[in-house]
Amino acid sequence: MKFQRSSQNNNSAKSKAVTETSALPILSQENLKNDSETSISSSTPDAIDMKALKALVTKAGEDNNWSEVEKKEANKLLSKVQGCLDEGELKKVELPLLKLLKLVTSFENECYELTWEICENLAKIYNRQDNHEKCLTMLSQSLNLKQQVLGENNSSYILTLIENANCLKRLGQTEDAEELFKQARELKAANK
């Protein structure tokens, strides 16, 4: 897995957005051979797990009887995402992910898990680019879907709620963030 820590200069009003994929922990194909690496990505907030994304696309295609054309288009978009990541072009990952999101949400059968996974990957990219407004939009979409499908007591919902709160905090909306943190603590305590 690749990591790059962005250096924060406390003297500057706004830190420079990191636009390289090396800023994100990215699971490359060689890392995917070791299954223990996959579990690390899920605990790393800014990880893009291409193996999981590809698996979700395959599962959604099979479960929802996508046509061969639809499957081919989805895989083509995934290949573009992987290519952008391999080239170190984080900013270029956005467009194929947005196109994949549009494709997935255009089907009659909703592919909820894939939809929220794409939204969360986009949120990770926007967060690394310090575009917290777009990050919040994607996290909110994911949170709403998870609430409808999984319910508020689901751990995945609670984690996304916390990410939403963190994003609000980065935007300076501390009161709203604290309310979401409180809600997440209450849900977590109720699930013990």
Q: Can you give the pLDDT at residue 46? A: 57
Query: pLDDT exceeding 90 applies to what percent of the chain?
Result: 62
Taking only the tens place, the pLDDT of each residue in 14-46 is 332 333 333 333 333 333 333 333 222 333 445
Which positions of the chain have pLDDT values less than 70?
1-47
Q: What share of the chain is helix, strand, coil (3-state, %, to 5)?
A: 70, 0, 30
Q: Can you give the pLDDT at residue 88? A: 84
Other CB atoms within 10 Å distance of the CB of residue 159: 17
Q: Can you give the pLDDT at residue 47? A: 67
Domain ranges of the chain: 21-190
Give the residue among 104, 182, 108 at the shortest CA–CA distance from 142. 104
CA distance 99 to 94: 9
Other CB atoms within 10 Å distance of the CB of residue 42: 11
CATH number of 21-190: 1.25.40.10
Q: Can you give the pLDDT at residue 90? A: 82
CB 122 within 8 Å of CB 84: no
- On the CB side of 45, CA atoms within 13 Å amount to 14
Q: Provide the 3-class DSSP secondary structure of residue 175.
A: helix
